[in-house]
Structure 1
Amino acid sequence: MSYADQLFINMCHDILEHGTSTEGEKVRPKWEDGSFAYTIKRFGVVNRYDLRKEFPAITLRKTALKSCMDEILWIYQKKSANIHDLNSHVWDEWADETGSIGKAYGYQIGVKSKYKEGMFDQMDRVLYDLKNNPFSRRIMTNTYVHADLSEMHLYPCAYSTTWNVTQTPGEDRLTLNMVLNQRSQDVLAANNWNVCQYAILLMMVAQSCNMIPGELLHVIADAHIYDRHVDVVKELIGRETYPAPKVSLNPEVKDFYAFTTADLIVEDYQAGPQVKNIPIAV
């Protein structure tokens, strides 16, 4: 099996066997029929993926890697908060009549701040620091801005990245690593989606800075399985698994803002059947 499969299966078993149920408690999310959406949850789930060994896609079912990349480009490259700039429908439930999801995600990445070197938005500052001061301990993005929460249609779930550079003895190029902080995660619907999209972001930034993509450390404060997902998860984690796919980027692209989904190369991705019509709590 892929290493991502192993982590996913172990995480789901841990949540189901040792998690806390929110049934009967005061919760915000509801199902489409209006009933409350309860979860089984674990606090402080931490998973580590090494992109030098394999790409972290599960094979229990296929993760739509091009769509993952499209959403990450929407946030960090286009810096958009309008679903008309996105080619999937994952954000449709939270968009208004204009397509906007408010001052969330890409909007925050595009906000410029003043530094001694000039004005930078969050993504441009990451790229600047990695190229000019790679061993800085201050290379971060953050979309959880309290002053703007009332104008976001959904509070950010994956809200912060921290970038850190290391060097392997004997290797000329530096290695780029990232911590992804997530306050809340629907494990069935979003876990591997988030892992894969931030792995792709790490790969794009590393290539733009002539670095080696290294480790992705994923920290989830509240990792949960919804009550209506339990049986689906149990079936999913009992499936046959396969080796991880080979995932790379077009080596000709050196500019972060030049990447498109056509530059993602996916090979040998064998996976189980897709899980369809997953109910989503809103």
Structure 2
Amino acid sequence: MAQEAAGKLMRTGRSSIVPLLTPATAWFGLFFALPIAAMLVVSFWVVANYQLVPTFTLTNYTKLAQPLYLSIIVRTFAIATIVTILAALVGYPVAYYLARRLKRLRVFVLTLIVLPLWTSYLVRSFAWMLVLGTSGAFNWFLQGIGVTDQPVRWFLYTEFAVIIALVHIYLPFFILPVFAVLDKLDDRLLEASSDLGASPWTSFWTVTLPLSRPGISTGCLLVFIPAAGSYVSPELLGGPSVLMIGSVIAQQFGLVFEYAFGSALALTLMTGILIVALGLLRIGKVQGLK
């Protein structure tokens, strides 16, 4: 009797959930799965006389093995990785201080961290052009203290400029999830570690850091994904010498009308991001929550 009641309850629960999931499923299929499926099909076609020709070929994918495109792909993931590491090195101490040390001004500081997100991405990229330019704040400061007697030109239109700008733009996306995890950390665990004779530094490495890994993996994911697909900042701050895959994809669709090759590039980028995302999620789930 009890088993029948439990089975009936489960069937009722499933039937009540289905209407709620249907709109989300339709939205996911229409605006995510369907475009990706179309892009996958087009990536095996060719373009002739600015027209897509539906014929199966692997030319677009073999073209990715050329040194030019291979170097762009490697540079893209290398820059995204560096940006993620720097965001973690800068963002984790900030998130830790906000969650475990700062109490009175926490809301104010969090507002300051989120405030740049209210500004347009394009405006922030242009602002970094003004800061890193030959007449910008960096050069003005260096000349003011006597380090250089003339403007340094390698600040702008280099990988350095792109990395600095991307770290600044995406840093809040790392701080916020790590702060959320650290803020909910049970203080009794640290007290138990202290009672067992662990120093504050040992408690951090053995208790705080492992338990904050879900937030770290989420933050890294939120930084790496947009950094790898970034288009505006590399175009403005990197120039033609720092091509990233986002810029090449935009060129294929907007300038040379190579929709097939652009689709292959986009899918390659998505595949690389998916592999990194699965790895980060596994670290956060398996190591951080075991």
**What is the TM-score of this pair, normalised by structure 2?**
0.28
The structure richer in helix per residue is 2
